[in-house]
Amino acid sequence: MTDTVRWGIAGPGSIAARMAEALADLDGAELVAVGSRAHHRAAAFAAAHAVPRVYGSYDALLADDDVDVVYVATPHSSHHDLTVAALEAGRHVVCEKPFALSAAEAASMAETARRTGRFCMEAMWTWFLPTVVELRRSLAEGVVGDVRALRADFGIDVPGETGRHRSPVLGGGALLDVGVYPIALARLLLGPPSAVRALGRLGPTGVDDTVAGVLAHDSGALALFHAGIDARTTQTAEVTGTDGTITVESPFWAPTAFTVDRRDGSGDRVTLPHRGLAHEAAHANDRIRSGHTESDVIPLATSVALMGTLDEIRAQIGVRFPGETQAP
């Protein structure tokens, strides 16, 4: 068991600010450095979050031997290269979702982590939230009988065409940005999918504005998902079993409550507050302190497989990123 785990943040953007807040309240963790492509942006972030060391390049951050773990909080297209470089530099890594652009990239990141013996985890924060942990436990206990179907939607309204959300170069599109949440929820609650069918509507930049589809799971359960960056949806989820339905209140990707309605007329409402990214940060911190190289909640093989599902959907809806000469 090492003492305090020293964190460095790569990419001082909006999610990085939330991670800085989470780390500030976490025992056994200390945010010691931040890196940006521009020194002044790292400096502004450091001033806002009391971070002692500031770097004007990602390479300089990764070279800091007094950083134990790097939180990769940059656009999707840079997750692979930054994670691999950080691992090769001897750092542990917690990398934002989606873990990579493709399963091939994710497999390369996993291979590098295993070879270097460093901890590496996808920052799928939803899986660590108390309401989601309790939802998973309740379903496993059979609170609504055998699960037959799940439905979840995650639509946001992103104006304009110039930001990272619609940039093919940065790995944009509804699927990788928000679609990963309902698809990951289905995997968490129903297990790995055995088949997927999807349709999408691509926008003028060539990435998906909307994507919807269905996943088939070995248990026989089907999961319907819908994601978009062109219209806000209810952001709810329902899980239907042979004895009733659970409704996960909005936003299902960061819920504080779910309701259980059973066919026999009985029901419950379970409410559990959460502390944002603190739950995943505490998990990663504990795993690193206890010498593990992977999460037991979202192991690397799960992140690679999740990217494989996203690859299959991208192939079906016709989204290719620059440099991809064939469907993923």
Ligand X SMILES: NC(=O)c1ccc[n+]([C@@H]2O[C@H](COP(=O)([O-])OP(=O)(O)OC[C@H]3O[C@@H](n4cnc5c(N)ncnc54)[C@H](OP(=O)(O)O)[C@@H]3O)[C@@H](O)[C@H]2O)c1
Q: Which residues of the shown chain bind ligand X in the complex (CB under 6 A)?
A: 11-16, 36-38, 41, 73-76, 78, 96-97, 123, 125, 164, 170, 177
Nearer CB in complex with ligand X: 178/222: 178
Specify whether 227 is catalytic: no
CA-to-CA separations, 57 to 36, 89, 114, 171, in angstroms, rounded: 5, 14, 26, 21
Residue with Cβ nearer ligand X (79 or 217): 79
Distance, in Å, from the CA atom of 186 to the CA atom of 300, rounded to the nearest integer, reads 17
Using the minimum distance from each CB to ligand X, give the nearer residue, 29 or 129. Answer: 129
- Alpha carbon 149 to chain centroid distance? 22
Q: Tell me how crowded residue 4 is: count the other CB atoms within 10 A of its CB.
A: 14
Give, in degrees to the nearest 5, the angle at Cα 295 between 308 and 17. Answer: 90
Q: Which residue number, 138 or 250, has a Cβ lying nearer to ligand X?
A: 250
CB of 117 to ligand X, least distance (A): 25
Half-sphere exposure of 263 (CA within 13 A, CB side): 9
Which residue lies nearer to ligand X by CB, 14 or 325? Answer: 14
Residues 240/234, Cβ–Cβ less than 8 Å? no
* Minimum distance of ligand X from residue 2's CB (angstroms): 26
Question: In angstroms, what CA-CA distances link 170 with 76, 156, 201, 205, 328?
Answer: 6, 18, 19, 12, 16
| Least separation in angstroms between CB 138 and ligand X | 24
Q: Which of 49, 76, 79, 97 is catalytic?
A: 97
Report strand pairing: 244-248 vs 208-217.
Answer: unpaired
Cα 194 from Cα 201, distance rounded (Å) = 24
Tell me how far, at minimum, the Cβ of 56 lies from ligand X, in Å: 9
Q: Could you tell me the smallest distance in angstroms from the CB atom of residue 12 to ligand X?
A: 5
Taking Cα atoms as reference points, which of 178, 53, 127 lies closest to residue 70?
Answer: 53
CB 110 within 8 A of CB 124: no
Q: How far is the CB of 144 from ligand X (least distance, A)?
A: 28
Work out the angle between the directed axes of helices 14-24 and 278-289 (0-180°, nearest 10).
60
Taking CB positions, which residue lies at the least distance from ligand X? 13
Place of tokens 């192991």: 299
Tell the burial category of 135 from Cβ atoms under 10 Å away from its Cβ (0-12, 13-18, 19+).
Answer: buried
Q: Which residues are catalytically annotated? A: 97
